Structure 1
C-alpha cells in the first residue's frame, strides 16, 4: 500500500508555507487593529484575528439559507483559508437567529428535477441531478485545518452538513438540528456519512427515517456536539477553544486531522504506517524540534507561522 498512500498524502495536504505565499493568500484584504477582513463578499463575513479565521453566514433575514451567491463565496473563501499560513483554525457561525438553514429553496428550479419513466406501466420517478449537499464535502476536502462550528440557531440541510463536517461542534442553548431530508423526499448525502459516525448507526437512522428535529441538549446527549453554552457565551467559548488549538503546531495538527479522517476506514497497521509517513512529511516544518527543545528548557513552545 505504501506508494499509493504516499502519493495520496503528499498531494494537496499540509506543507510548510512561506511568508510570500501568505501575502498572496491574503490579497484583497483590509487590515486594521490586527484583524484582516475580506470585504468583497455579500452573503458571508470573513475575518482573521490571532491566527483564527471566523466565517459567518450572513443572510439573517432568511436564517442564512445558502443561495447561489453564498455558495459561490464559500467556494472562493475556503481555499483561501487553507492557503493562508496565518490561519490555523476556522470557526463557522451564523448571523442572527440561524446557523444555516440549508439551501435557499426559492432558488430551486422545478425543471431541474425532470420526470422520468422507467418504462410502460412502471412507476415514474424524479431524478435528482446532483448530491443534495455538495458544500460540506467541498469544505472537508479543501480545509485541512481544524474547523469549529459555533452553532447559534437552526442548522438544516447543507448548513447542518457543514456543522457535521467540522471537527468540533459547540452549540448555543437555542440551537436546533433538523433532519427533514426524507420529509422532502431528499436523500441525504454528506450528512448521512458523518452522522452515523458521530452518534452511531441506530440513532442516525432513527433521526433520519423519522425526520426528528433535536435541540441543543439532545444533541450534546447524543454526542453530536461537544458542549452547550448560553447564547451570549457561544462565540467566546468557541474562540477560546480555537485559540488554544491555534497555539499548537499548525503542520502537525493538520496532519493529525488528515489521519483522523483516513483512520475511520483503515485498519490499525495501515494507520500506523500513515502516521510514520506523516511525521516524515511534517519534519521540515521544525515543529518537533521546537517541541522537544521547549520541553528540555521547561518553557512553553513557540511554533512559528508557516
Structure 2
C-alpha cells in the first residue's frame, strides 16, 4: 500500500515501513499521523509479527521534525497522532519487535524514531546527531531514553552539544546493534525480521512488555508483578497452546509450530 508520505509492504508476517518524503524524509504532522495509524494497525494485526522502519533513498533515514513546516506554523507541541511523534514513542501495548534499518542521516526526531525501535541496524555511511539545542528545542524522547541506552556522560555530551557522530561511534557506545554495507542493510534487516517472525510470538510479546514496564522498577518489584500475574502478556503466554506446544516439541525432539494462541 502506498500513502502520500509513507510506503508500506507486507512480506508474510513482516511489515516494512519506508519514509518517503523527498528530499530528506522529514516528518511533519501529516506524516507522523500516518505513521501512527500504520504502527497501530501493525500492533493490532494478529498476522503481523515484526516491523522494519527505514527511509527511502541512499542519503537520509530521517532528519526528524520538518523545520520548513514548523516555519510555516506547525507547532512543536502539536498533536502528532497515535503513538506521538513518528508513531512509535508513545504507542501503548506495542508488544512486537521493531527493527530500524538506518540507511543514512538520522538526526533529531529521526534518531528518536530509531530509538523507538528494539533493534537498530546501520549502514556504514549513516550519521547521527541531536541538534535540537541549536534550534531552541529539546529532544524530549532522546533526553529520556539516551542516558539509559549509552553511558550517561556520552549521552549528555551529545544532547548538550548536538554534535554529529558516525556509525562506528554509535556502535562503540552500543547505540546500534550492527554496521553493514549500505547494499546489505535491508537484506540483513529482512533476515533478522524473518528469524524473529518464525519465533514464538507470545514469548516475544512477554519479553517486550516486561522490559518496557520494568525499566524503572527494582528487580524484586518486577518479579513480584510477574509472579502475581500482573503482566498481561506473561499471563496469556502461560495459559496458551504455544506454551504447551513448546514443551511437547522439546520432548518429541522436533521444531515447535507456533500459532500465537
- TM-score, with normalisation over the residues of structure 2? 0.90
Instruction: Give the 5 Å matches for 1:13-162.
Output: 38-39=1-2, 41-59=3-21, 61-96=22-57, 97-109=59-71, 129=77, 134-135=84-85, 138-142=88-92, 143-162=94-113
- CA shift, 1:267, in A, is 0.7
Q: In the TM superposition, what is the alpha-carbon distance from 1:226 to its structure 2 partner? A: 0.3
1:160 & 1:289 partners in 2: Cα distance? 40
Distance 2:52 2:114 in 1: 10
Distance 1:267 1:44 in 2: 40
Give 1:111 shift. 6.0
Quickly say closer, same or farther: Cα 1:266–1:137, change in 2 above 3 A.
Answer: farther
1:202 alignment partner in structure 2: 153
* CA positional deviation for 1:284: 3.6
Q: Using a 3 Å threshold, how does the CA distance of structure 1 residues 131 and 173 change in structure 2: closer, same or farther?
A: farther
Q: C-alpha deviations, 1:230-282, integer Å up to 9, x for none?
A: 00000111111111111111122112101111221001112112333233232
Report deviation, 1:72: 2.2
Task: Find 1:272's aligned residue among 211, 223, 228.
Answer: 223
Contact 2:36/2:86, CA 8 A, preserved across alignment? no
Give the alignment of 1:228-243 within 5 angstroms: 228-243=179-194
Deviations 1:165-202, CA, capped at 9 Å, x for gaps: 11010000011111201111211201111111110211
Report the number of matched residues: 253
Return 5+ residue gaps in structure 1 as ranges. Answer: 1-37, 114-127
Q: Separation in 1 of the partners of 2:35 and 2:74?
A: 23
Note the aligned Cα RMSD (angstroms).
2.1
Counterpart of 1:190 in structure 2 is: 141
Q: Which has the larger radius of gyration?
A: 1
Pair 1:256–1:209, CA change in 2 (3 A):
same
How much does 1:138 deviate? 4.4
Post-superposition Cα deviations, 1:12-44, rounded to whole Å, max 9, x if no partner, equal xxxxxxxxxxxxxxxxxxxxxxxxxx34x1111
Cα distance change of structure 1 residues 228 and 111 upon mapping to structure 2, 3 Å threshold? closer
On the 8 A contact 1:146/1:167 being kept in 2, the answer is yes
| Runs ≥4 residues deviating over 4 A | 109-113, 128-133, 136-140
Q: Distance in 2 between matches of 1:130 and 1:164?
A: 21
Deviation digits for residues 55-74 of structure 1 (CA, Å, limit 9, x no counterpart): 00011x22101123312211
Match of 1:168 in 2: 119
- Which residue matches 1:32? none
Q: Distance in 2 between matches of 1:166 and 1:51?
A: 17
CA drift of 1:110 comes to 6.5
Unmatched tracts of structure 2, length 5 or more: none
